[in-house]
Amino acid sequence: MPAPAADPHVLVLGGGFGGLYAARTLGAAGVRVTVADRRNFHLFQPLLYQVATGGLSPGDVTYPIRAVLNRYPSARVIQADAIDIRPGAREVVFADAPAQHYDALIVSTGSRTSYFGHDDWAVRAAGLKSVEDALDIRQRVLVAFERAELEPDAARRQALLTFVVVGGGPTGVELAGAIAELAHKTMVRDFRSFDPHDTRVILVEAGPRILPAFPEPLSRYAARALQALRVEVRTGVTVTAVGDDAVATKHGDAAGTIPTATPLWAAGVKVAPFGDMVAGRFAAARDRQGRIMVGGDLTIAGHPRVYVIGDLAHASGPDGNPLPGLAPVAMQQGEFVAKHILGRIPAGRPFRYRNKGQLAVIGRNRAVADFGRVRFTGFPAWLVWVFVHIMYLIEFDNKVMVLMQWAFGYVTRKRGARLITNTGDG
């Protein structure tokens, strides 16, 4: 390994949770650090479903990366699309910016929606990984209601009022619950040609229960809470095809069809193409999901100054299983690699994820909380969920705006961001 430079430069690819937490720690220590991202903002993904259902605006869940790091004179931000790495020269090549040299590299480029080999479904079944995805879903949902108002055919109108959410993890559960509340509470008096109570929200999960990462009693509570919101929960059901006006399913040996104009996808993620390139350039081993295998210090084997964190990394927990692709994992990994670069981690000490628990919201006053031995549901869990998500927002003004939006929505049940902005579609 080459001797460290007198004024080392750390290049961070990706301004998500892991990359931003690493950059803040390095910037606070006065290290020269550059964050490169295709976007100029950090996205708080856990609240994207709120944008998708009109509860929040995009600006409530995003914040300029430069504004986060401008307090650190040694930190720099470039908006650029990384397309290649030259390990020998220790350079990252960008499509729209000069190549950047690095003494240490942190790769935190995240993941994308996985359609499990059926990428052609993406056109019909919108995923939820970006601001654009959230606005696309908002558009599809609101347009479906507008078209239902004008549709004379009863069967076609019911298809417009049927929303199929594929995937029973936290994103799918939160999205299904929010759409149900939007239809049955927020917009219940908005239309004249149909009754919004006729809206069907169907949550499809291939496994035996929703929220499979949570303890079974919490999964059962979530299913009951969704059903109280009039969400149809179908477990053990796989999607076999996504068409223009229906979703084909299979439950055991029984095939079925759900007429719908709005299928939505929350069933999984996979490594983005840039991750494939990184693995190839560094001859890195990968797991079955394509994630890059990293050591205890989160570096690629044979490349002690190249770190991979977040959704792109396969980092093992104490039980030998890979750590989940959650924001708290990426945050802790970002701080760890920054301290490792700074020499604040004793030699040989591996990364250890401090599991602070997990939360999922089902709807107004309904959530589940799993903190190991302490588990609870309902309104107390919902309050904790609100508090935790407010605290995880990056900057103070985001926290204030989101808290005000939620307070207004809680009292009035109104969702102010129900805008259809792309009237040229469909």
Q: Is 129 exposed, middle or buried (0-12, 13-18, 19+ CB in 10 A)?
A: buried
Q: How many Cβ atoms sit within 10 Å of the Cβ of residue 300?
A: 25
**Phi, psi angles (nearest 5°) of residue 190:** -90, -20
Residues 6+ apart with CB under 8 A from 262: 140, 141, 144, 160, 162, 163, 164
230: left (phi over 0), alpha (psi -120 to 50) or beta: left
Nearest to 369 by CA among 217, 180, 175: 217
CA-CA distance, 107 to 418, in Å (whole number)?
A: 36
Going from the C-alpha of 45 to that of each of 12, 236, 283, 284, 321, the distances in angstroms are 19, 27, 30, 28, 24
List 132, 146, 149, 174, catalytic entry: 174
Identify whether 216 is a catalytic site residue.
no
DSSP state of 192: S
E-strand ranges in 189-252 read 200-205, 231-235, 238-242, 246-251
Quote the strand ranges of 236-321, DSSP E: 238-242, 246-251, 254-259, 262-265, 269-271, 292-293, 299-300, 303-308, 313-314
Q: Which residues of 140-178 are buried (b: 16+ CB within 10 A; e: fewer)?
A: bbbbbbebbeebeeeeebbbbbbbbbbbbbbbbbbbbbb
- The residues carrying an active-site annotation are 174
